[in-house]
């Protein structure tokens, strides 16, 4: 008899020892904290089975969501690989197009030079040379005109 009572006291002490003293969390979007919270009463077998079934349903829906995400990730990875290969192809096409453009520019510039020579269009160097010669001739003409103007009376008297 004493061992039964002692057993009950021991069970009560274990329950008291394992009972939470402080509990906190979020409920309905609000933070809560409790000191010596009320214990949740033991649930019946039917209630536990319902909770297990609910957890199983949630687990199945979670697994299906994970599978969907995995499929989407695989699809995205394939698209990324396709885009990488397309980008590499376009980069090689760009290099080829740049090379062709440089060749065309070389041909166009050589054709332009040949056309300028045939048409008699002077180059920049020839233009600069002609301008320098024109400046020097203008300078000499100006000096000659100044000398003639100063000496005009002597020249007229000489004739």
Model confidence over 52-79: pLDDT tens digits?
888 899 889 989 999 999 999 999 999 9
| Span 24-48, pLDDT tens digits | 778 888 887 777 666 655 667 888 8
- Which stretch of DSSP H or E encloses residue 2? helix 2-18
Same-domain check for residues 89 and 103: yes
For residues 99 and 72, membership in a common domain is answered with yes
124 is written with which tokens?
């920049």
Number of domains in the chain: 3
User: What does the pLDDT look like over 12-21, one tens digit per residue?
Assistant: 877 777 777 7
pTM for the model: 0.36
Structural domain span for residue 145: 122-152
| 34 and 85 both lie in a single domain | no
Q: What's the residue count for the chain?
A: 159
The band of 117, judged by pLDDT with boundaries at 50, 70 and 90, is confident
Do residues 12 and 31 share a domain? Answer: yes
> Do 139 and 86 lie in a common domain?
no
Whether 29 and 77 share a structural domain: no
């Amino acid at each position: 008899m004493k061992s039964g009572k002692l057993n009950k006291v021991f069970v009560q002490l274990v329950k008291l020892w394992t009972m939470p003293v402080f509990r906190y969390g979020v409920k309905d979007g609000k933070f809560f904290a409790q000191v010596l919270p009320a214990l949740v009463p033991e649930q019946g077998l039917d209630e536990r089975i319902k909770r297990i079934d609910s957890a199983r349903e949630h687990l199945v829906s979670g697994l299906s969501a994970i599978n969907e995400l995995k499929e989407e990730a695989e699809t995205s990875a394939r698209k990324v690989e396709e885009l990488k290969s397309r980008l590499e192809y376009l980069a090689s096409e760009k290099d080829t197009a740049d090379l062709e453009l440089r060749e065309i520019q070389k041909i166009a510039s050589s054709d332009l030079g040949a056309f300028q020579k045939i048409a008699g269009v002077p180059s920049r160097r020839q233009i600069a040379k002609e301008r320098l010669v024109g400046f020097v001739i203008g300078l000499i003409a100006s000096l000659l005109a100044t000398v003639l103007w100063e000496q005009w009376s002597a020249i007229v008297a000489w004739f």
